[in-house]
Amino acid sequence: MAFILKRKIKAKIENETGLSTNGNLSGGRFFQNDGKPNMKVRGLKFWERLNMYHALLSLSNFGFVLLIFTVFTLINLIFAGIYLYIGIEHLNGLVATTTLDKFSEAFFFSAQTFTTVGYGRINPVGFAASFIASGEALIGLMSFALITGLIYGRFSRPRAYICYSKNVLFAPYKDGVALMLRMVPYTKNYLANVEAKVTLAMRVLEGEDIKTKFYSLDLEVSKANTLTANWTLVHAITEDSPLFEMKKEDLMNANVELLVFIHGFDESFANTVISRASYTVEDFVYGAKFNPMFYPDKNSTYTILQLDLLDSYSKVPIPMEFE
């Protein structure tokens, strides 16, 4: 179902979103809650569209560490099997007698060779074992060089480190109502020259076609010299707003999605960082206002920013026509 426009919207139409305007060709929302594109790629072979470097940089910390240990274990298991295949007698210094002990000795010799530790008790004898050990040592050196580069890339990658409020509020503002959402930096990577842009996407029925319209929402404050505390983005719902006279039912029929784009200069990385967020009608709360999330300390010498209060709000009355 699409929303039928009953008035001419005065808000500026955004034509540079890079998103499809044909509502029949788009499924679901444009972005997920965390700002990642809600899109699955098809049409190319897996290996042709796989960016291994990007995938390893984007992997979670737990997944990255788990992958390293898994690959390390698998490589040493493979080489331990190779040493057993060419003959365990080619490893001088073994004291194991059972098959399991021989395999464990070969495994740990492989680990010592792979990491170039080489304790010296076990050493290869003969061309085959020496050749395999040399190749494993080379693979180990290359692997650790690759891992070192990946770890550096993961730590040095510029990120915005911004948390967004779970909900968007329709709150009393001046003599009317405003749409509000809140964000806050959660590390000491302070941002400078921060600019916020909020775009409203909604599907409307034009004749027999469903079109997606993108409207740029005017913000009370769209730029900040620095972002060290929380920032509430406020869009006043006036006659010039695309949300004017639209009730919750209208927003649901229009599949409204709120797209938030933030970019600024990170002082720590000395680089520009970008952050995105997305909200749908299910995230809208009518008749509420955000509770303060910072306050002075006991001696009033510095300000305490309470990050766990980012989503905290209180219910307040708003005009019925907005509900």
CATH number of domain containing 282? 2.60.40.1400
Q: Are 11 and 241 within 8 A, CB to CB?
A: yes
- Do 82 and 202 share a domain, yes or no? no
More confident call, 309 vs 46: 309
- Do 173 and 311 share a domain, yes or no? yes
- In this prediction, what percent of the chain has a pLDDT beyond 70? 90
Average pLDDT in the 158-163 region?
85
Average pLDDT in the 47-54 region?
78
**18 belongs to a structural domain:** no
- Do 149 and 167 share a domain, yes or no? no
**82 belongs to a structural domain:** yes
- Do 314 and 170 share a domain, yes or no? yes
- Do 202 and 145 share a domain, yes or no? no
Whether pLDDT at 128 is above 80: yes
The pTM of the full predicted model, rounded to 2 decimals, is 0.77
**69 belongs to a structural domain:** yes
pLDDT class of 43 with cuts at 50, 70, 90: confident
User: Which residues have CB under 8 Å from 291's CB, separation 6+?
Assistant: 309, 312, 313, 314
- Do 90 and 168 share a domain, yes or no? no
**16 belongs to a structural domain:** no
Average pLDDT in the 202-231 region?
85
User: Which residues have CB under 8 Å from 157's CB, separation 6+?
Assistant: 57
**13 belongs to a structural domain:** no
Average pLDDT in the 78-105 region?
86
User: Which residues have CB under 8 Å from 299's CB, separation 6+?
Assistant: none
**Closest to 182 measured CA to CA, from 157, 162, 204:** 162
| pLDDT for res 5 | 59
* Residue type at 150 in one-letter notation: L
- Do 165 and 253 share a domain, yes or no? yes
| pLDDT for res 81 | 92
Average pLDDT in the 144-149 region?
92
**2 belongs to a structural domain:** no
- Do 199 and 295 share a domain, yes or no? yes
Note the pLDDT tens digit of each residue in 167-207.
Answer: 999 999 988 899 999 999 888 778 899 999 999 988 877 76
- Do 139 and 167 share a domain, yes or no? no
Domain that holds residue 274: 23-40+159-322
The last residue of a domain, from among 156, 190, 205: 156
Whether pLDDT at 225 is above 80: yes
Q: Are 200 and 242 within 8 A, CB to CB?
A: yes
Average pLDDT in the 291-308 region?
88
pLDDT class of 23 with cuts at 50, 70, 90: low
- Do 96 and 215 share a domain, yes or no? no
**Using CA atoms, how far apart are residues 180 and 195, in angstroms rounded to an integer?**
16
Q: Which of 33-42, 53-62, 248-257 has the lowest mean pLDDT?
A: 33-42
- Do 175 and 138 share a domain, yes or no? no
Average pLDDT in the 15-29 region?
67
Whether pLDDT at 266 is above 90: no
The last residue of a domain, from among 121, 156, 191: 156
| pLDDT for res 24 | 58
Q: Are 59 and 95 within 8 A, CB to CB?
A: no
- Do 144 and 105 share a domain, yes or no? yes
Provide the number of structural domains found in the chain: 2
